[in-house]
Amino acid sequence: MSQTNPTPVAPAATALEGEAALIRAVGSFALTAAVINVIVGGGIFKMPAALSGQMGIAAPLSLVAGALAIIPIALCFAAIGSRTAATGGPYTYVSAAFGPFAGFIAGALMWICNVASSAGVAAALSIQVASLVPALAPPLPRALLLLAVYVSIFALNAFGVKLGARAITALAALKLTPLFALVAAGMFFVDWTQVSFSIGAAPSWAALGSSMVLVMFAYSGMETALVPSGELRNPARNVPRATMVAILLVVLLYLGLQIVGQGLLGGALATSGVPIADTAGALWAPARALLLVTACVSMAGFLLGNLLGSSRLLFALGRDGFLPHAYSRVSASHRVPLLALFTHAGLGCLFAVLGSFEALVLISGGAICLVYVLVGAAAGRAQAMDLRERGEPFVLKGGPLIPLLAVTAMTAIVATLTSREWLAIGVALGVLVIVYVVVRGLKPR
């Protein structure tokens, strides 16, 4: 009598844990779109007016100076991002170069920045929507609108990284097309007497320095898009390519929008509440409403990308024992960290209801410069150590020169912060150190 082997029974669907549970489904094109999508968020729709108010006709000079500062940072991200394949972004990069304490500070500080920027952009989004639908301006309808926004972006992320990446790519195309079209059409009507790249046209060195904090906030975002490294295909090749292409496109777009805005609106740009929409309206009146809609799409895209990256940062902190282990678990069906998604979306929604764009951006912009200092230093150390995980890494020419330039530039920008901003960042860092000590003390040896 023959005996057959019993048919194996599939285990019940359960939550999976750790890096191996993630799916590498994000390629170079989707990553480039994700980087652009996070950078071109809410800041660009307010920045032209703020820069014009601080710098006058020399506002484009701030963008050029910011580009000179952000490109070395992007190179550092490209270099160290090609050397580490694990999820975590700056947290993983700094941990690999300097150990867990520095990595924890970078990761936790970056997450606080991301919560603040998510809430600030969501608050700005509610204002943009209210300008189109005034019935949503009162507190209760505004709170319900923000709740609906966060529930929507949570749902898109909860059904898998592929769906989230596709949604990000679609939103990036929807918002970038009218912005590039505005630059292309507006350049033909610019009054160049309203635009200057001369240092002598700047009101003061102090004005230039303070404007750089705003510019760095507007240029920031690559660090969030690169957090899901555990879900990238061939990070050694795709991270450098996507980072550099995205940064170059963003610099050209921002510079073009500032020039067109000043060239069409002149001194009125500084007092505009919706500068991009008003610039479009100066070209063609119906275009103002189109750009208001574009602003809403852009901000929604930012929130979607911010949630994708920030949830993976919480996942990485849970994976390594700095947060409860539940944060390192992913759903069996779609392989996404649901608790991390819920935590970030919930806090972002809460602070968006209670706060404002202007109040949240100052802390976020200054603190992200500190994260960039750590990443620049980590890139130099990783290259000196010849750290590598998968594939041939991207090598910075000149050895430590580019990381040193990146660290110096960010340090100079941070030095322009006011005592109030330093106090806020210092309190946040103090709380983070206490959390680190407590968590490490409770962790079994």
What pLDDT was estimated at residue 350? 94
**Which of 18-27, 151-160, 411-420, 422-431 is predicted least confidently?**
18-27
The pLDDT mean for the chain works out to 82
Q: What is the mean pLDDT of residues 30-36?
A: 69
Beta strands at 329-330 and 16-17: parallel, antiparallel or unpaired = antiparallel
Q: What is the mean pLDDT of residues 300-308?
A: 84
More confident: 43 or 158: 158
Q: Is the pLDDT of residue 159 over 50?
A: yes
Q: Is the pLDDT of residue 23 over 60?
A: no
More confident: 227 or 298: 298
Q: Is the pLDDT of residue 9 over 70?
A: no
What pLDDT was estimated at residue 259? 97
Question: ∠ CA 191-195-196 to the nearest 5 degrees?
Answer: 145
- List, for residues 38-77, the tens digit of each pLDDT value: 677 667 887 899 899 999 999 999 999 998 898 899 889 8
| Per-residue b or e along 397-421, where b marks 16 or more CB atoms closer than 10 Å to that residue's CB | eeeeebbebbbebbeebbebbeeeb
N-terminal to C-terminal alpha carbon distance within the chain: 55
More confident: 374 or 1: 374
Q: Which two tokens stand for residue 280?
A: 């479009």
What pLDDT was estimated at residue 234? 62
What pLDDT was estimated at residue 328? 85
**Which of 48-62, 271-285, 368-382, 420-434 is predicted least confidently?**
420-434
- List, for residues 79-100, the tens digit of each pLDDT value: 888 888 666 678 888 999 999 8
132 — pLDDT class (breaks 50, 70, 90): confident
What pLDDT was estimated at residue 390? 65
Element (H, E) at 17: strand 16-17
Q: Which two tokens stand for residue 156?
A: 């898109």
Structure-derived torsion over alpha carbons of residues 127, 133, 136, 138, reported in degrees to the nearest 10 = 80
Which one-letter amino acid corresponds to residue 173?
A
245 — pLDDT class (breaks 50, 70, 90): confident
Q: What is the full DSSP assignment across 232-251? A: BSSHHHHHHHHHHHHHHHHH
Q: Where are the beta strands (DSSP E) in 310-388?
A: 329-330
Q: Which two tokens stand for residue 264?
A: 């069409």
More confident: 191 or 238: 191
Helix axes 287-319, 90-98, angle to 10 degrees: 40
Which one-letter amino acid corresponds to residue 417?
L
201 — pLDDT class (breaks 50, 70, 90): very high
Q: Is the pLDDT of residue 4 over 80?
A: no
Classify the C-alpha dihedral 74-76-79-80 as positive or negative.
negative
Q: Where are the beta strands (DSSP E) in 77-126?
A: none
236 — pLDDT class (breaks 50, 70, 90): low
226 — pLDDT class (breaks 50, 70, 90): low
310 — pLDDT class (breaks 50, 70, 90): confident
**Which of 156-165, 175-184, 352-361 is predicted least confidently?**
156-165
